[in-house]
Amino acid sequence: MNEPQVIASGKRLPQVDKILRHAKMVERQKEIRREVLLAVTRKVLSQLRSSSSGQACDDLPSIVDRIDRELDRLLEGSLQKVINGTGIILSTNLGRAPLSESISQRLGQCLAGYCNLEVEMGSGKRGERTTMVEEQLAVLTGCQSALIVNNNAAAVMLAVSALAKCKEVIVSRGELIEIGGSFRLPDVIESAGGILKEVGTTNRTRADDYERAISSQTGLLMKCHRSNFEITGFTEEAPTSALVTLSRQHGITFVEDLGSGALVDLSAFNLKHEPTVMEVIAQDVDLVMFSGDKLMGGSQAGIICGRSDLIKKLRSNPMYRALRADKLTIGLLEQVLIAYMKLNPQLQLPVLQMAVETLESLKGRASQFMAQAQETPGDWQMKLVSSCSTFGGGTLPGSDIASVSISFDLSKSSLSADKFCALLRQAPTPVIAIIQAGAVLIDFRTVSCRDQQFLLESLRWLSQQPQIKRI
Protein backbone atom coordinates (compact mmCIF):
# COMPACT_ATOMS: atom_id res chain seq x y z
CA MET A 1 0.00 0.00 0.00
CA ASN A 2 2.88 2.35 0.83
CA GLU A 3 4.96 1.71 -2.28
CA PRO A 4 5.49 4.87 -4.37
CA GLN A 5 3.29 4.83 -7.47
CA VAL A 6 4.71 5.61 -10.92
CA ILE A 7 2.54 7.70 -13.27
CA ALA A 8 2.62 8.00 -17.05
CA SER A 9 5.06 10.93 -17.01
CA GLY A 10 7.60 8.85 -15.10
CA LYS A 11 7.15 10.80 -11.88
CA ARG A 12 6.34 9.09 -8.61
CA LEU A 13 3.19 9.68 -6.61
CA PRO A 14 3.59 10.12 -2.86
CA GLN A 15 2.73 7.29 -0.48
CA VAL A 16 -0.75 7.14 0.98
CA ASP A 17 0.57 7.40 4.54
CA LYS A 18 2.56 10.49 3.64
CA ILE A 19 -0.56 12.12 2.18
CA LEU A 20 -2.60 11.35 5.30
CA ARG A 21 0.12 12.89 7.50
CA HIS A 22 -0.22 16.21 5.67
CA ALA A 23 -1.55 18.95 7.98
CA LYS A 24 -4.73 19.44 5.92
CA MET A 25 -5.53 15.73 5.98
CA VAL A 26 -4.81 15.55 9.73
CA GLU A 27 -7.31 18.35 10.20
CA ARG A 28 -9.84 16.51 8.05
CA GLN A 29 -9.58 13.46 10.33
CA LYS A 30 -11.26 15.51 13.08
CA GLU A 31 -14.42 15.46 10.94
CA ILE A 32 -14.21 12.46 8.62
CA ARG A 33 -13.65 8.77 9.28
CA ARG A 34 -10.15 7.55 8.43
CA GLU A 35 -11.44 4.76 6.16
CA VAL A 36 -13.30 7.38 4.12
CA LEU A 37 -10.14 9.46 3.77
CA LEU A 38 -8.28 6.34 2.67
CA ALA A 39 -10.89 5.47 0.04
CA VAL A 40 -10.96 8.99 -1.41
CA THR A 41 -7.17 9.25 -1.39
CA ARG A 42 -6.84 5.98 -3.29
CA LYS A 43 -9.51 7.09 -5.74
CA VAL A 44 -7.63 10.33 -6.51
CA LEU A 45 -4.30 8.51 -6.84
CA SER A 46 -5.91 6.00 -9.20
CA GLN A 47 -7.22 8.87 -11.34
CA LEU A 48 -3.73 10.40 -11.45
CA ARG A 49 -2.14 7.09 -12.44
CA SER A 50 -4.62 6.60 -15.28
CA SER A 51 -4.35 10.17 -16.52
CA SER A 52 -3.80 10.10 -20.31
CA SER A 53 -2.65 13.71 -20.45
CA GLY A 54 0.85 12.95 -19.22
CA GLN A 55 0.48 15.99 -16.95
CA ALA A 56 -0.55 14.21 -13.76
CA CYS A 57 0.89 16.21 -10.88
CA ASP A 58 3.14 14.52 -8.30
CA ASP A 59 3.30 17.61 -6.10
CA LEU A 60 2.05 16.68 -2.59
CA PRO A 61 0.20 19.94 -1.80
CA SER A 62 -1.58 19.83 -5.16
CA ILE A 63 -2.63 16.23 -4.61
CA VAL A 64 -3.87 17.04 -1.11
CA ASP A 65 -5.88 19.96 -2.51
CA ARG A 66 -7.43 17.66 -5.07
CA ILE A 67 -8.37 15.14 -2.37
CA ASP A 68 -9.79 17.99 -0.29
CA ARG A 69 -12.00 19.14 -3.18
CA GLU A 70 -13.22 15.59 -3.77
CA LEU A 71 -14.15 15.27 -0.10
CA ASP A 72 -16.06 18.56 -0.25
CA ARG A 73 -17.94 17.34 -3.33
CA LEU A 74 -18.95 14.07 -1.70
CA LEU A 75 -19.98 15.75 1.57
CA GLU A 76 -22.08 18.33 -0.22
CA GLY A 77 -24.17 15.77 -2.13
CA SER A 78 -25.68 16.33 -5.55
CA LEU A 79 -29.33 17.24 -5.06
CA GLN A 80 -30.00 20.96 -4.87
CA LYS A 81 -32.69 23.45 -5.70
CA VAL A 82 -32.76 24.59 -9.33
CA ILE A 83 -34.88 27.04 -11.28
CA ASN A 84 -36.75 25.42 -14.15
CA GLY A 85 -36.71 27.80 -17.08
CA THR A 86 -37.45 25.15 -19.70
CA GLY A 87 -41.23 25.48 -19.77
CA ILE A 88 -41.55 21.71 -19.22
CA ILE A 89 -43.84 21.40 -16.21
CA LEU A 90 -43.14 17.73 -15.46
CA SER A 91 -39.46 17.61 -16.36
CA THR A 92 -38.25 14.12 -15.46
CA ASN A 93 -34.64 15.37 -15.30
CA LEU A 94 -35.67 18.01 -12.76
CA GLY A 95 -37.70 15.73 -10.50
CA ARG A 96 -41.12 15.94 -12.22
CA ALA A 97 -43.88 17.34 -10.02
CA PRO A 98 -42.71 20.02 -7.57
CA LEU A 99 -44.44 20.06 -4.19
CA SER A 100 -45.86 23.08 -2.39
CA GLU A 101 -44.06 24.55 0.60
CA SER A 102 -47.08 23.97 2.80
CA ILE A 103 -47.13 20.23 2.00
CA SER A 104 -43.38 19.95 2.58
CA GLN A 105 -43.64 21.73 5.93
CA ARG A 106 -46.55 19.62 7.18
CA LEU A 107 -44.78 16.42 6.21
CA GLY A 108 -41.51 17.59 7.76
CA GLN A 109 -43.11 17.57 11.20
CA CYS A 110 -43.82 13.84 10.86
CA LEU A 111 -40.44 12.93 9.38
CA ALA A 112 -38.42 14.78 12.04
CA GLY A 113 -39.18 11.94 14.47
CA TYR A 114 -41.19 8.76 14.62
CA CYS A 115 -44.63 8.42 13.04
CA ASN A 116 -47.57 6.02 13.17
CA LEU A 117 -46.77 4.38 9.83
CA GLU A 118 -48.07 0.93 10.75
CA VAL A 119 -49.71 1.44 14.14
CA GLU A 120 -53.48 1.43 14.68
CA MET A 121 -53.66 4.23 17.22
CA GLY A 122 -56.96 3.05 18.71
CA SER A 123 -55.91 -0.51 19.51
CA GLY A 124 -52.16 -0.04 19.52
CA LYS A 125 -51.81 -3.03 17.20
CA ARG A 126 -50.03 -3.23 13.87
CA GLY A 127 -51.98 -1.74 11.00
CA GLU A 128 -51.73 -1.32 7.20
CA ARG A 129 -49.51 1.57 6.14
CA THR A 130 -51.71 2.74 3.25
CA THR A 131 -55.10 2.72 5.00
CA MET A 132 -55.61 6.50 4.91
CA VAL A 133 -54.44 6.85 1.27
CA GLU A 134 -56.78 4.00 0.33
CA GLU A 135 -59.73 5.74 1.99
CA GLN A 136 -58.88 9.06 0.34
CA LEU A 137 -58.62 7.45 -3.10
CA ALA A 138 -61.93 5.64 -2.58
CA VAL A 139 -63.66 8.95 -1.79
CA LEU A 140 -62.03 10.79 -4.70
CA THR A 141 -62.20 8.15 -7.44
CA GLY A 142 -65.03 5.80 -6.47
CA CYS A 143 -62.75 2.75 -6.31
CA GLN A 144 -63.36 -0.09 -3.86
CA SER A 145 -59.76 -0.37 -2.73
CA ALA A 146 -56.26 0.84 -3.59
CA LEU A 147 -52.59 -0.04 -3.28
CA ILE A 148 -49.37 2.02 -3.48
CA VAL A 149 -46.03 0.85 -4.91
CA ASN A 150 -42.90 2.75 -5.82
CA ASN A 151 -43.73 3.65 -9.45
CA ASN A 152 -46.18 2.86 -12.22
CA ALA A 153 -43.95 0.27 -13.90
CA ALA A 154 -43.93 -1.54 -10.55
CA ALA A 155 -47.73 -1.36 -10.50
CA VAL A 156 -47.91 -3.09 -13.90
CA MET A 157 -45.36 -5.68 -12.82
CA LEU A 158 -47.22 -6.46 -9.60
CA ALA A 159 -50.57 -6.79 -11.40
CA VAL A 160 -49.11 -9.22 -13.96
CA SER A 161 -47.27 -11.25 -11.33
CA ALA A 162 -50.31 -11.57 -9.08
CA LEU A 163 -52.99 -12.10 -11.74
CA ALA A 164 -51.34 -13.54 -14.86
CA LYS A 165 -48.12 -15.32 -14.00
CA CYS A 166 -47.34 -17.89 -16.72
CA LYS A 167 -50.48 -16.73 -18.54
CA GLU A 168 -51.15 -14.55 -21.57
CA VAL A 169 -51.42 -10.79 -21.25
CA ILE A 170 -53.21 -9.38 -24.30
CA VAL A 171 -52.14 -5.88 -25.35
CA SER A 172 -52.62 -3.83 -28.53
CA ARG A 173 -49.50 -3.41 -30.66
CA GLY A 174 -50.17 0.32 -30.74
CA GLU A 175 -49.86 0.49 -26.95
CA LEU A 176 -46.57 -1.33 -26.41
CA ILE A 177 -44.86 1.77 -25.12
CA GLU A 178 -41.29 2.46 -24.11
CA ILE A 179 -40.93 4.57 -20.99
CA GLY A 180 -37.94 6.62 -19.79
CA GLY A 181 -34.59 4.89 -19.46
CA SER A 182 -35.34 2.59 -22.42
CA PHE A 183 -37.62 0.34 -20.35
CA ARG A 184 -40.31 -1.27 -22.48
CA LEU A 185 -43.75 -2.52 -21.52
CA PRO A 186 -43.18 -5.95 -23.13
CA ASP A 187 -40.07 -6.42 -20.96
CA VAL A 188 -41.94 -5.37 -17.81
CA ILE A 189 -44.73 -7.87 -18.55
CA GLU A 190 -42.36 -10.73 -19.32
CA SER A 191 -40.14 -9.96 -16.30
CA ALA A 192 -43.23 -10.33 -14.11
CA GLY A 193 -43.88 -13.81 -15.53
CA GLY A 194 -46.56 -12.89 -18.07
CA ILE A 195 -46.68 -14.10 -21.67
CA LEU A 196 -47.16 -11.12 -23.96
CA LYS A 197 -49.74 -11.57 -26.71
CA GLU A 198 -49.92 -8.70 -29.19
CA VAL A 199 -53.12 -7.95 -31.09
CA GLY A 200 -54.16 -5.56 -33.84
CA THR A 201 -51.76 -3.33 -35.71
CA THR A 202 -49.75 -0.27 -34.76
CA ASN A 203 -52.46 2.15 -35.87
CA ARG A 204 -55.69 0.14 -35.62
CA THR A 205 -56.88 -2.29 -32.95
CA ARG A 206 -60.51 -3.28 -32.33
CA ALA A 207 -62.27 -5.16 -29.56
CA ASP A 208 -62.71 -8.19 -31.80
CA ASP A 209 -58.91 -8.40 -32.14
CA TYR A 210 -58.78 -8.98 -28.39
CA GLU A 211 -61.65 -11.47 -28.57
CA ARG A 212 -60.00 -13.60 -31.25
CA ALA A 213 -56.81 -13.73 -29.17
CA ILE A 214 -58.49 -14.97 -25.98
CA SER A 215 -57.68 -18.55 -25.09
CA SER A 216 -57.78 -20.84 -22.07
CA GLN A 217 -54.31 -19.49 -21.20
CA THR A 218 -55.34 -15.83 -21.10
CA GLY A 219 -54.80 -14.18 -17.73
CA LEU A 220 -55.29 -10.46 -18.44
CA LEU A 221 -56.65 -8.03 -20.97
CA MET A 222 -54.61 -4.84 -20.72
CA LYS A 223 -55.14 -1.39 -22.17
CA CYS A 224 -52.25 1.07 -21.97
CA HIS A 225 -52.82 4.76 -22.36
CA ARG A 226 -50.36 6.29 -24.83
CA SER A 227 -49.25 9.02 -22.46
CA ASN A 228 -45.89 9.75 -24.10
CA PHE A 229 -46.67 9.62 -27.84
CA GLU A 230 -49.50 10.11 -30.32
CA ILE A 231 -50.75 8.10 -33.29
CA THR A 232 -52.72 10.21 -35.76
CA GLY A 233 -54.37 9.68 -39.13
CA PHE A 234 -55.95 6.36 -40.05
CA THR A 235 -56.34 5.07 -36.49
CA GLU A 236 -58.71 3.13 -34.26
CA GLU A 237 -58.51 1.75 -30.75
CA ALA A 238 -60.79 -0.45 -28.70
CA PRO A 239 -62.78 1.69 -26.26
CA THR A 240 -62.53 0.87 -22.57
CA SER A 241 -66.26 0.11 -22.36
CA ALA A 242 -66.01 -2.55 -25.09
CA LEU A 243 -63.08 -4.25 -23.35
CA VAL A 244 -64.93 -4.22 -20.03
CA THR A 245 -67.87 -6.01 -21.70
CA LEU A 246 -65.52 -8.50 -23.35
CA SER A 247 -63.74 -9.27 -20.09
CA ARG A 248 -67.05 -9.93 -18.34
CA GLN A 249 -68.20 -12.29 -21.09
CA HIS A 250 -65.05 -14.39 -20.83
CA GLY A 251 -64.42 -14.05 -17.08
CA ILE A 252 -61.00 -12.44 -17.60
CA THR A 253 -59.60 -9.57 -15.56
CA PHE A 254 -59.28 -6.26 -17.43
CA VAL A 255 -56.73 -3.69 -16.26
CA GLU A 256 -55.98 -0.25 -17.67
CA ASP A 257 -52.61 1.44 -17.34
CA LEU A 258 -53.74 5.06 -17.36
CA GLY A 259 -50.24 6.41 -16.87
CA SER A 260 -50.66 10.12 -16.22
CA GLY A 261 -53.21 9.92 -13.40
CA ALA A 262 -55.34 13.06 -13.83
CA LEU A 263 -57.69 13.64 -10.90
CA VAL A 264 -59.35 16.74 -12.39
CA ASP A 265 -60.77 17.43 -15.84
CA LEU A 266 -58.09 19.56 -17.48
CA SER A 267 -60.48 20.68 -20.23
CA ALA A 268 -62.21 22.81 -17.57
CA PHE A 269 -59.08 25.01 -17.72
CA ASN A 270 -58.94 25.15 -21.53
CA LEU A 271 -56.31 22.41 -21.63
CA LYS A 272 -56.41 19.16 -23.61
CA HIS A 273 -58.75 16.61 -22.08
CA GLU A 274 -57.04 13.68 -20.41
CA PRO A 275 -59.12 10.71 -19.21
CA THR A 276 -59.41 11.00 -15.43
CA VAL A 277 -59.08 8.14 -13.00
CA MET A 278 -62.70 8.66 -12.02
CA GLU A 279 -63.90 8.37 -15.63
CA VAL A 280 -62.09 5.06 -16.09
CA ILE A 281 -63.28 3.55 -12.80
CA ALA A 282 -66.84 4.62 -13.61
CA GLN A 283 -66.65 2.31 -16.65
CA ASP A 284 -66.25 -0.65 -14.29
CA VAL A 285 -62.62 -1.44 -15.10
CA ASP A 286 -61.25 -4.10 -12.73
CA LEU A 287 -58.02 -2.24 -11.97
CA VAL A 288 -56.57 1.08 -13.09
CA MET A 289 -52.92 2.04 -12.58
CA PHE A 290 -51.30 5.47 -12.76
CA SER A 291 -48.32 7.55 -11.62
CA GLY A 292 -48.31 9.76 -8.56
CA ASP A 293 -45.80 12.31 -9.87
CA LYS A 294 -47.38 13.22 -13.20
CA LEU A 295 -50.70 15.03 -13.64
CA MET A 296 -51.66 14.17 -10.09
CA GLY A 297 -48.79 16.41 -8.94
CA GLY A 298 -47.44 14.25 -6.10
CA SER A 299 -44.38 12.14 -5.36
CA GLN A 300 -43.10 9.21 -7.41
CA ALA A 301 -45.47 6.30 -6.85
CA GLY A 302 -47.49 3.69 -8.67
CA ILE A 303 -51.13 3.78 -7.62
CA ILE A 304 -53.51 0.88 -8.26
CA CYS A 305 -57.25 1.41 -7.77
CA GLY A 306 -60.13 -0.98 -8.34
CA ARG A 307 -61.85 -4.10 -7.05
CA SER A 308 -61.10 -4.97 -3.43
CA ASP A 309 -60.73 -8.72 -4.10
CA LEU A 310 -58.06 -8.07 -6.75
CA ILE A 311 -56.24 -5.53 -4.58
CA LYS A 312 -56.18 -8.18 -1.85
CA LYS A 313 -54.46 -10.60 -4.26
CA LEU A 314 -51.87 -7.97 -5.16
CA ARG A 315 -51.25 -7.15 -1.50
CA SER A 316 -50.62 -10.82 -0.64
CA ASN A 317 -48.23 -11.34 -3.57
CA PRO A 318 -44.57 -11.66 -2.40
CA MET A 319 -43.51 -9.06 -4.98
CA TYR A 320 -45.54 -6.40 -3.14
CA ARG A 321 -43.08 -6.51 -0.25
CA ALA A 322 -40.27 -5.52 -2.60
CA LEU A 323 -42.27 -2.84 -4.39
CA ARG A 324 -44.28 -1.17 -1.63
CA ALA A 325 -43.90 2.55 -0.89
CA ASP A 326 -42.09 4.01 2.12
CA LYS A 327 -43.33 6.50 4.73
CA LEU A 328 -42.10 9.53 2.76
CA THR A 329 -44.06 8.57 -0.35
CA ILE A 330 -47.19 7.69 1.60
CA GLY A 331 -47.04 10.89 3.62
CA LEU A 332 -46.66 13.04 0.51
CA LEU A 333 -49.52 11.28 -1.26
CA GLU A 334 -51.79 11.79 1.75
CA GLN A 335 -51.15 15.53 1.69
CA VAL A 336 -51.62 15.80 -2.10
CA LEU A 337 -54.91 13.88 -1.90
CA ILE A 338 -56.06 16.21 0.88
CA ALA A 339 -55.57 19.09 -1.56
CA TYR A 340 -57.79 17.30 -4.09
CA MET A 341 -60.51 16.87 -1.49
CA LYS A 342 -60.74 20.63 -1.03
CA LEU A 343 -62.14 23.26 -3.39
CA ASN A 344 -59.91 24.49 -6.22
CA PRO A 345 -56.95 22.08 -6.05
CA GLN A 346 -55.47 23.96 -9.00
CA LEU A 347 -54.66 26.77 -6.57
CA GLN A 348 -52.82 24.50 -4.13
CA LEU A 349 -50.75 22.11 -6.25
CA PRO A 350 -47.78 23.59 -8.20
CA VAL A 351 -48.28 21.36 -11.27
CA LEU A 352 -51.84 22.60 -11.74
CA GLN A 353 -50.94 26.16 -10.74
CA MET A 354 -48.35 26.34 -13.53
CA ALA A 355 -50.64 24.72 -16.09
CA VAL A 356 -53.63 27.01 -15.54
CA GLU A 357 -51.85 30.36 -15.03
CA THR A 358 -53.14 32.81 -17.64
CA LEU A 359 -51.01 34.51 -20.27
CA GLU A 360 -51.91 37.87 -18.77
CA SER A 361 -50.58 36.79 -15.38
CA LEU A 362 -47.39 35.39 -16.93
CA LYS A 363 -46.78 38.59 -18.92
CA GLY A 364 -47.30 40.68 -15.81
CA ARG A 365 -44.85 38.64 -13.73
CA ALA A 366 -42.25 38.43 -16.49
CA SER A 367 -42.46 42.18 -17.26
CA GLN A 368 -42.06 43.11 -13.62
CA PHE A 369 -39.14 40.75 -13.25
CA MET A 370 -37.42 42.03 -16.39
CA ALA A 371 -37.66 45.61 -15.12
CA GLN A 372 -35.69 44.52 -12.05
CA ALA A 373 -33.25 42.39 -14.03
CA GLN A 374 -32.50 45.23 -16.49
CA GLU A 375 -30.62 46.95 -13.67
CA THR A 376 -28.12 44.08 -13.68
CA PRO A 377 -25.13 44.99 -15.89
CA GLY A 378 -24.26 42.36 -18.46
CA ASP A 379 -23.38 41.99 -22.14
CA TRP A 380 -26.85 40.81 -23.15
CA GLN A 381 -30.19 42.28 -24.11
CA MET A 382 -33.49 41.02 -22.69
CA LYS A 383 -36.98 41.06 -24.15
CA LEU A 384 -40.29 39.26 -23.67
CA VAL A 385 -41.22 36.71 -26.33
CA SER A 386 -44.09 34.31 -26.87
CA SER A 387 -43.22 30.67 -26.28
CA CYS A 388 -44.78 27.25 -25.81
CA SER A 389 -44.73 25.19 -22.63
CA THR A 390 -45.52 21.49 -22.34
CA PHE A 391 -46.51 19.13 -19.56
CA GLY A 392 -43.69 16.70 -20.40
CA GLY A 393 -42.87 13.71 -18.21
CA GLY A 394 -44.61 11.33 -20.62
CA THR A 395 -47.89 13.24 -20.33
CA LEU A 396 -50.22 14.89 -22.87
CA PRO A 397 -47.96 14.41 -25.94
CA GLY A 398 -48.40 16.95 -28.72
CA SER A 399 -50.23 19.36 -26.44
CA ASP A 400 -48.60 22.80 -26.10
CA ILE A 401 -49.54 25.56 -23.67
CA ALA A 402 -49.05 29.17 -24.77
CA SER A 403 -46.48 30.85 -22.56
CA VAL A 404 -44.14 33.83 -22.12
CA SER A 405 -40.35 33.75 -21.92
CA ILE A 406 -37.54 36.18 -21.26
CA SER A 407 -35.14 36.02 -24.19
CA PHE A 408 -31.45 36.85 -23.78
CA ASP A 409 -29.94 38.24 -26.99
CA LEU A 410 -26.23 37.36 -26.93
CA SER A 411 -25.29 38.75 -30.36
CA LYS A 412 -23.04 41.36 -28.70
CA SER A 413 -21.95 39.10 -25.87
CA SER A 414 -18.55 37.59 -25.27
CA LEU A 415 -20.28 34.26 -24.64
CA SER A 416 -22.03 31.75 -26.84
CA ALA A 417 -25.49 30.57 -25.90
CA ASP A 418 -24.06 27.24 -24.74
CA LYS A 419 -21.50 28.89 -22.46
CA PHE A 420 -24.12 31.32 -21.15
CA CYS A 421 -26.38 28.38 -20.19
CA ALA A 422 -23.41 26.56 -18.65
CA LEU A 423 -22.70 29.58 -16.43
CA LEU A 424 -26.37 29.77 -15.42
CA ARG A 425 -26.14 26.17 -14.24
CA GLN A 426 -23.22 27.14 -11.99
CA ALA A 427 -25.09 29.99 -10.27
CA PRO A 428 -25.76 29.83 -6.48
CA THR A 429 -29.26 28.70 -7.42
CA PRO A 430 -28.68 26.94 -10.76
CA VAL A 431 -30.91 28.01 -13.65
CA ILE A 432 -31.87 25.50 -16.36
CA ALA A 433 -32.61 27.46 -19.55
CA ILE A 434 -33.19 26.50 -23.19
CA ILE A 435 -31.72 27.71 -26.48
CA GLN A 436 -33.86 28.63 -29.47
CA ALA A 437 -32.58 30.28 -32.66
CA GLY A 438 -29.35 31.28 -30.90
CA ALA A 439 -31.12 33.01 -28.03
CA VAL A 440 -31.32 31.79 -24.45
CA LEU A 441 -34.89 31.56 -23.14
CA ILE A 442 -36.24 31.31 -19.60
CA ASP A 443 -39.89 30.26 -19.77
CA PHE A 444 -41.85 31.90 -16.96
CA ARG A 445 -44.57 29.27 -16.80
CA THR A 446 -42.19 27.04 -14.86
CA VAL A 447 -40.65 29.85 -12.80
CA SER A 448 -42.78 30.18 -9.65
CA CYS A 449 -43.34 33.47 -7.84
CA ARG A 450 -41.11 32.34 -4.98
CA ASP A 451 -38.34 31.46 -7.47
CA GLN A 452 -38.18 34.94 -9.00
CA GLN A 453 -35.92 36.35 -6.28
CA PHE A 454 -33.56 33.36 -6.63
CA LEU A 455 -33.50 33.91 -10.40
CA LEU A 456 -32.68 37.60 -9.95
CA GLU A 457 -29.83 36.75 -7.57
CA SER A 458 -28.47 34.19 -10.03
CA LEU A 459 -28.48 36.77 -12.85
CA ARG A 460 -26.69 39.26 -10.62
CA TRP A 461 -24.11 36.59 -9.80
CA LEU A 462 -23.72 35.88 -13.51
CA SER A 463 -23.05 39.55 -14.28
CA GLN A 464 -20.13 39.51 -11.84
CA GLN A 465 -18.31 36.63 -13.52
CA PRO A 466 -15.02 37.56 -15.24
CA GLN A 467 -16.24 36.18 -18.57
CA ILE A 468 -19.02 38.79 -18.71
CA LYS A 469 -18.41 42.27 -20.09
CA ARG A 470 -20.13 45.21 -18.39
CA ILE A 471 -22.40 47.34 -20.58
In order, the DSSP letters of 78-125 are S----EE-SSBTT-GGGTSS---HHHHHHHHHHHTS---TTB-TTT-S
Average pLDDT for the chain: 91
Q: How far apart are CA 140 and CA 288, in angstroms?
A: 14
Q: Are residues 251 and 376 in the same domain?
A: no
For helices 417-424 and 452-463, the axis angle rounded to 10 degrees is 120
Q: How confident is the model at residue 181 (pLDDT cuts 50, 70, 90)?
A: low
Residues 289, 168, single domain; the answer is yes
Highest mean pLDDT: which of 57-61, 178-182, 283-287, 466-470? 283-287
In whole angstroms, what is the distance from residue 42 CA to residue 33 CA? 15
Domain boundary among 347, 369, 400: 347
| Helix residue spans in 233-388 (DSSP H) | 240-250, 277-282, 308-316, 318-323, 327-341, 350-356, 359-373
pLDDT value of position 1: 45
The CATH code of the domain that includes 305 is: 3.40.640.10
Residue 471 parent element (H or E): none
Question: Residue 125's domain spans which residues?
Answer: 101-347
How many domains are contained in the chain?
Answer: 3
> pLDDT tens digits for 284-339?
999 999 999 999 999 999 999 999 999 999 999 999 999 999 999 999 999 999 99
Q: What is the mean pLDDT of residues 353-362?
A: 96
Are 398 and 261 part of one and the same domain?
A: no
Q: Which of 100-109, 340-349, 361-370 has the lowest mean pLDDT?
A: 100-109
For residue 212, pLDDT beyond 50: yes
pLDDT reported for residue 54: 45
Residue 39: predicted pLDDT: 96
Whether residue 193 is predicted with pLDDT greater than 80 in this model: the reply is yes
* pLDDT over 80 (residue 230): no
The reply to whether 415 falls in a domain is yes
Looking at residue 85, its pLDDT comes to: 97
pLDDT of residue 59: 87
Does pLDDT of 470 surpass 60?
no
Query: Is 228 contained in some domain?
Result: yes
Domain boundary among the residues 297, 319, 347 is at: 347
Contact 305, 140 (CB under 8 A): no
Q: What is the pTM of this model?
A: 0.89
pLDDT at 232: 78
**Do 152 and 291 form a contact (C-beta atoms < 8 A)?**
yes
Q: Are 334 and 359 in a shared domain?
A: no
pLDDT, residue 394, reads: 78
Question: Residues with Cβ < 8 Å from 338, sequence gap 6 or more?
Answer: 136
Separation between Cα atoms, residue 235 and residue 243, nearest integer Å: 17
Asked if residue 210 belongs to a domain, the reply is yes
Is 70 exceeded by the pLDDT of residue 217?
yes
Query: Is residue 468 a part of any domain in this protein?
Result: no
The answer to whether residues 284 and 310 belong to one domain is: yes
Asked if 361 and 324 sit in the same domain, the reply is no
The pLDDT of residue 381 = 87
Tell me if 388 is assigned to some domain. yes
Q: Give the pLDDT of residue 414.
A: 81
Does the residue 453 lie in any domain? yes
Whether 133 and 239 share a structural domain: yes
CATH (domain of 430): 3.90.1150.180
pLDDT in the model for residue 136? 97
Statement to judge: residues 413 and 436 lie in one domain: yes
**Is residue 96 in some structural domain?**
no
H helix runs in 90-239, sequence order: 101-111, 131-141, 152-163, 185-191, 207-213
316 and 418 together in one domain: no
Residue 38 lies in a domain: yes
Do residue 117 and residue 145 come from a single domain? yes
Looking at 347, 371, 388, the residue that finishes a domain is: 347
Region of 87 on the Ramachandran plot (φ > 0 left; ψ -120 to 50 alpha; else beta): left
Task: Tell whether 221 and 358 lie within a shared domain.
Answer: no
Q: pLDDT (tens digit, 9 = 90+) per residue, 32-54? A: 999 999 999 999 999 998 875 44
Are 366 and 292 within one domain?
A: no
